[in-house]
């Protein structure tokens, strides 16, 4: 009865990992040969592992990453413009914790989104919050939020995540409202929050894309995004074409 009561209390206290590990120990003949300290340490380890797994699941669900990518699977074939040492350093996540930005540019199919999602996945595994946003859809959502009064709430949500991934920058035209909305998003994150941008446009073309006839907004956005930013320029043949060729030969 005492054992059943102990298990019940562990579940009531939401110590599910310890409860399950305790039940496993009771069913294991070898567990009795371990010391109290060893058995108790195993219970604590199971609880910590369960909580970490659940936290990672929550972070990944909230991130809504477009690609199931991880840094261990990055393709470093020659000609892509990727250096193992640089990626290994970036994978440590210090740039995110320090609120620095990253810009990934390259032609269609070069793997920009996949690489961004790999860094997003890595950040989640390190306990940081991530939000993946395609810029065209993000700007549509912000435009709607002006009419229903939720703009500031959405801005606050975007401002608090540790890493904001903005995908497809430069893919669709901007109007005056969307330019100012983008500036508000970038401005809200300019003090200690990291932003990762992917774009087909080379950085040298960003000012004309953002500015149109008003260079003030373009200057403000670029000043916050580009200065002190990690830059990765992907090169080479489309990864989609290469995967297609591989599937044909296989």
| 87-136 confidence digits (pLDDT tens) | 999 999 999 999 999 999 999 989 999 999 999 999 999 999 999 999 99
| 4-39 confidence digits (pLDDT tens) | 888 787 787 788 787 887 788 777 877 777 787 877
At the fourth CATH level, the homologous superfamily of domain 64-238 is: P-loop containing nucleotide triphosphate hydrolases (3.40.50.300)
Residue 200 pLDDT exceeds 70: yes
The arithmetic mean of pLDDT across residues 68-96, rounded, is 94
Q: Residues, the chain, total? A: 250
For residues 45 and 215, give the distance between their C-alpha atoms in angstroms, rounded to a whole number. Answer: 56
Q: What pLDDT score does 243 carry?
A: 52
Q: Answer yes or no: are the C-beta atoms of 128 and 95 closer than 8 Å.
A: no
Three-class SS state of 153: helix
The arithmetic mean of pLDDT across residues 155-180, rounded, is 93
Residue 240 pLDDT exceeds 80: no
Domain boundaries, the chain: 2-27+34-62, 64-238
Element (H, E) at 8: helix 2-12
pTM of the model: 0.83
161-to-38, 51, 59, 65, 87 alpha-carbon distances in Å: 39, 20, 11, 14, 22
For residues 11 and 98, give the distance between their C-alpha atoms in angstroms, rounded to a whole number. Answer: 39
Q: Considering only CA atoms, which of 119, 137, 124 is closest in space to residue 70?
A: 119
- pLDDT tier, 239 (very low <50, low <70, confident <90, very high otherwise): low
Q: What pLDDT score does 11 carry?
A: 80
């Amino acid at each position: 009865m005492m054992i059943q009561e102990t298990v019940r209390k562990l579940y009531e206290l939401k110590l599910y990992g310890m409860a399950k590990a305790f039940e496993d120990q009771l069913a294991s003949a070898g567990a009795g040969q371990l010391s109290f300290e060893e058995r108790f340490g195993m219970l604590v380890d199971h609880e910590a592992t369960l909580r970490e797994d659940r936290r990672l699941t929550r972070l990944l669900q909230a991130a809504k990453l477009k690609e199931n990518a991880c840094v261990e699977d990055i393709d470093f074939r020659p000609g892509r413009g990727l250096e193992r040492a640089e990626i290994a350093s970036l994978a440590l996540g210090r740039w995110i914790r320090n609120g620095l930005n990253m810009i990934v540019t390259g032609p269609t199919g070069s793997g920009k989104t996949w690489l961004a999602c790999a860094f997003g996945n890595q950040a989640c595994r390190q306990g940081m919050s991530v939000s993946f946003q395609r810029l065209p859809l993000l700007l549509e959502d912000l435009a709607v939020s002006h009419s229903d009064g939720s703009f500031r709430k959405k801005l606050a949500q975007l401002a608090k995540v540790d890493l904001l991934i903005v995908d497809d920058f430069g893919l669709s035209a901007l109007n005056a409202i969307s330019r100012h909305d983008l500036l508000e998003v970038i401005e809200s994150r300019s003090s200690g929050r990291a932003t990762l941008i992917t774009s087909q446009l080379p950085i040298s073309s960003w000012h004309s894309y953002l500015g149109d006839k008003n260079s003030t907004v373009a200057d403000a956005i670029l000043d916050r995004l580009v200065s002190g930013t990690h830059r990765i320029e992907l090169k080479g043949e489309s990864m989609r074409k290469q995967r297609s060729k591989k599937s044909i030969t296989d």
